[in-house]
Every structure is written in structure tokens, then in C-alpha cells.
Structure 1
Amino acid sequence: MPETTLKVLIADDEPLAAERLQLLLARIGGIDLVGTASDGEAAVRMAAALAPDLLLLDIAMPGLDGIEVARELAGTRPSPVVIFVTAFDQFAVAAFDVAAVDYLMKPIEPGRLQEAIERARTHLRHLDSGCADAAPPGQSDFLEEFWASDRSGLVRIASADVDRISAERDYMRLHVGARSWLIHHSMASLEEQLDPALFVRLHRSAIVRRDFIGGFTRNPSGRWVALLNDQTEQPVGRLYSDRVKAIAGR
């Protein structure tokens, strides 16, 4: 089946940045660039007139900024999928509050843009399949994903893919296989937000995915230690020892 063509609108007040995006998009198949807006108000007008599938949206623009543009367009039907393209990482939380599907840092890497475009296609296919009324990521009762800083922007990490979480001062480290990322959260807030059917807190500085626990043993002091599937061990805090019995069904 041929790939569906995406109608794309660029909104960026920097001509060189907009031109670079156009050149990168020209290398990606199935893209129809329908226009380029140089400020927030123009982006809203052009989106209403052109009905793009995807909006590549800068954040720092004169007049309406990118976050305001996304909020205004969210009330339209159909509303375009939004990928933010910016030189600043401090807007990430606000960006995903308006349900952006990705957040790219300038200068844009071609492979990272391709990945974001594919994510947008997947999201649009999900909507077309009749799941438009389903809760978007991050809107369920429990935290379903994290966004962590990467060298080319932010990376989306599904909660269900996280093996364990360890505390490092004011940050939490997400461990996914051999890789890890730091996020700014507290352990207490993560314990509240993560699905208790999937995760269990075993220590004041550690949360572990339940199916990542291979067993338990006791150390020479009689304290429980969780044996994890990556062959590492996680001591169980005294305050959390009752959870060992709960996991074991005792």
C-alpha cells in the first residue's frame, strides 16, 4: 500500500531555519509542504485555510508563541499534529501539555526529523482507525510515558519499557536495558503516578518493574534483596519488606 502523503505546514520566524526544514523535508518521501508561516498569527490563519496534517512549529516567535498557537489550533477540527522545533529545551513540559507528538532541538538532525515524521504518521493512523476519542499519551490514570533530554532533543520513553528507576540527588535515572536517562522528578511522585500493577517501590531510592524481578534472597544481615533480570541486585529497604511478601503471595 503506498504511503499516505502528509500535508505539512512550517511555522518559524527564522528564514534560514525554515529553509533548512524545507530542504530536510524534501529528502523524506510522502511529504507535501503546503506553506511556511513566519509568525504565530500567520500560522493559525494558514492552518485554518490549508488544513495541514502536520505542523512543524517553532516556539519563540513574535506575537503568538508556538505554545499559544498549538493551544488555539487544538480547538479546531481537524487539528494538525504538532511537532515543536526549537532552540530551547525549557518549554518541553508545556509542549507536551498541548499534546505535541515530538520536540526537536535545533539544529535538526535528518534522522531525528525522519523519526519524528514517522511518529506523526503513526499518530494519524491511530486517529484514522477510529481511536480519536481514546485518551492521548499521558492522560490515563497512570503515567504512561516519560520525556527525557537527549543530544538531539527529547526522547519518548514508554513507562512499560523502564526496567527500574534509581534516585540521584534531585533527579531520577530511568534504566531501559543498557541505556539510562535522567529526569527531574521525585521518587514519591513517581510512586504515586506509576501503575502499581506494573511497578513496586523496594527502597527509598528505587522503583522496579515487577516483571523485572527474578527472585528474592536474604543478605547476611537477614535483609531482603531483589534479584533482577539483568543479573544485578536491589536491596529492599526495611520500610518496604512487606512488599516482598505481597509479591510472593505470602
Structure 2
Amino acid sequence: MTDLKVLAVDDEPLAVERLQILLSKQPDVALAGTANDGESALQMVDELKPDLVLLDIAMPGMDGIDVARALSGRPHVPLVIFVTAFDNFAVAAFDVEAVDYLMKPVLPDRLARALERAREHPRRAPGPAAPAPRYVEEFWVPELHGLVRIGADQIERITAERDYMRLHVGNRSWLIHRTIAKLEEELDPALFVRVHRSVILRRDTIVGLHRDEAGHWNARLPDGAEQRIGRSYADNVRKMTGRG
């Protein structure tokens, strides 16, 4: 197995030193270099072409999220694992497709698991890459100390809240940073249907459709609740019944 070339980025010298020590104890890892700010990190990525960047988020000037976004447009795009003392960046980390999200102080076994995820990432896996799925199959959403996986087919309802979308699974829900238009494009229309400017439903949760006295269409849900169907979406919802 070839070594995983890693660039460690943190504005705190002691934090960089700790990462160096931790990485030195991991098998099949080569430290490509270190950087203390975002601009230097981008320059070193261009020069050293690491496989992976361990990237602090809360840095002055260009923070880790900005660095990750800037990397996506460069000729060489390494994988990113965020390292931070704060747990409120998980949504942003998901949006820039980070491989993992480590909380400080980083523990050796947790770092080992994150490095293994990087090794197994499709961009690192040997052999021909599998074709990317046409539609999103899973979401990694923030929890108290990290991220949790939610299969797209588990989601029952999606509601818009300003610049975020709330994914509802049973009596729990999670926020992700998306527009409803973007999310509608990413979801399989065989599984989901948009029924309102701010609501998407999983199709098999709709147990009935009816028109109220005012002429508005409503979707009846398994728990007896009803969801108003926006006029712009009524034809699309009726089409799924084969009677549109």
C-alpha cells in the first residue's frame, strides 16, 4: 500500500506539532508538510500535491471552509478532513464534501478511523471508479459531536427553513444547507415529489389526495395529518396517480 501523503494545516503551532506526532504513529502515512494559514495551505497543495489535507476550520483570514471551497477549483484536489475545537461547523463541512470531521483534542483511534475513510474514498480506491449515482442516496448530517448518515429513502418529509432544509425521519429531524430547488434536483423523482414551494414528500407517505371546500388539493399522510399542495404543484402530484 502506498503512503497517504498528508498536509497538516492549523494556525496554532502546538496544534500542528500534535498532528505531526499523531501522524508519525500512523502506518502508511507520510507527512507532506505543514501550513499555518489558508493562503499558504493552497500554495503547498499546488506544490506538494498531497492526497489529504488535515484542515483546521477556525483560522484568521481565510478559514478552513474557504480553503476547502478554493481547493475544489484547483488542478489537484486533495481529500479534506476538518479538525476543529468547535462542533457548529458540521453542516458547512458536509457542504464542501469533507471526508470526516475531527474534534480537538484529536484522539489517535479517531484519527486512524478518519485516515482509513480517506484511503477507502472512491478518489483513492484502486481500479475503475464506479459510476456516480444519478441521485443522492445518503446525507451526512450534524449531530452533537460529529455526523450521522441518513439514507435518502429513510426521509419522509423535507421542509424549507430560510437557507436550510429540514430532513424529517419519524419524530426526529436534521438541518442541511441547501435550497429546495437544488435538493429537488438531487432527489430521485421516483421516490420524492415536491408538493409545495417549501415542502417535498416521499411519495409512499402520501396515502390519499382530496380537494377541500375552497378547491385546494391536500395530501393525506399516514398519521392522518394533511399537507396543502401548492397550486403550481397540483398537476405534478396528480400525475403520480396515473390520473393527471
TM-score normalized with structure 2 length = 0.65
The aligned counterpart of 1:213 is: 205
Q: CA contact under 8 A between 1:11 and 1:56: conserved in structure 2?
A: yes
Q: Hey, what's the Cα distance between the residues in 2 that align with 1:112 and 1:172?
A: 29
The aligned counterpart of 2:228 is: 237
| Structure 1 residue 181: Cα displacement | 0.9
The aligned counterpart of 2:220 is: 225
The aligned counterpart of 2:173 is: 180
Q: Hey, what's the Cα distance between the residues in 1 that align with 2:208 and 2:26?
A: 50
Q: Hey, what's the Cα distance between the residues in 2 that align with 1:44 and 1:92?
A: 22
Q: CA contact under 8 A between 1:203 and 1:235: conserved in structure 2?
A: no
Q: Hey, what's the Cα distance between the residues in 1 that align with 2:4 and 2:40?
A: 20
The aligned counterpart of 2:10 is: 12
Equivalent residue runs for 1:48-67 within 5 Å: 50-61=48-59, 65-66=63-64, 67=66
Q: CA contact under 8 A between 1:85 and 1:106: conserved in structure 2?
A: yes
Amino acid at match of 1:216: G
The aligned counterpart of 2:78 is: 80
Query: Alignment length, in residue pairs?
Result: 236
Identity of matched residues, %: 51
Q: Hey, what's the Cα distance between the residues in 2 that align with 1:70 and 1:170?
A: 18
Amino acid at match of 2:120: T
Q: Secondary structure at the match of 1:129?
A: coil
The aligned counterpart of 1:150 is: 143
Q: CA contact under 8 A between 1:170 and 1:185: conserved in structure 2?
A: yes
Q: CA contact under 8 A between 1:34 and 1:50: conserved in structure 2?
A: yes
Q: Secondary structure at the match of 2:19?
A: helix
Point out where structure 1 has 5 or more consecutive residues left out of the alignment.
Answer: none
Q: Hey, what's the Cα distance between the residues in 2 that align with 1:235 and 1:130?
A: 47
Post-superposition CA distance 1:68-108 (Å, at most 9, x none): 4763585344x4212232346469648845x5434445444
Amino acid at match of 1:174: L
> Do the aligned partners of residues 109 and 14 (structure 1) sit closer, same or farther apart at CA in structure 2, a change above 3 Å counting?
same
> Do the aligned partners of residues 236 and 40 (structure 1) sit closer, same or farther apart at CA in structure 2, a change above 3 Å counting?
closer
Q: Hey, what's the Cα distance between the residues in 2 that align with 1:143 and 1:16?
A: 39
Matched, 1:199 2:192: yes
> Do the aligned partners of residues 14 and 130 (structure 1) sit closer, same or farther apart at CA in structure 2, a change above 3 Å counting?
same
The aligned counterpart of 2:70 is: 71
Q: CA contact under 8 A between 1:54 and 1:81: conserved in structure 2?
A: yes
Q: Hey, what's the Cα distance between the residues in 2 that align with 1:203 and 1:70?
A: 31
> Do the aligned partners of residues 217 and 40 (structure 1) sit closer, same or farther apart at CA in structure 2, a change above 3 Å counting?
closer
| Structure 1 residue 56: Cα displacement | 0.5
Q: Hey, what's the Cα distance between the residues in 1 that align with 2:23 and 2:211?
A: 57
> Do the aligned partners of residues 178 and 236 (structure 1) sit closer, same or farther apart at CA in structure 2, a change above 3 Å counting?
closer
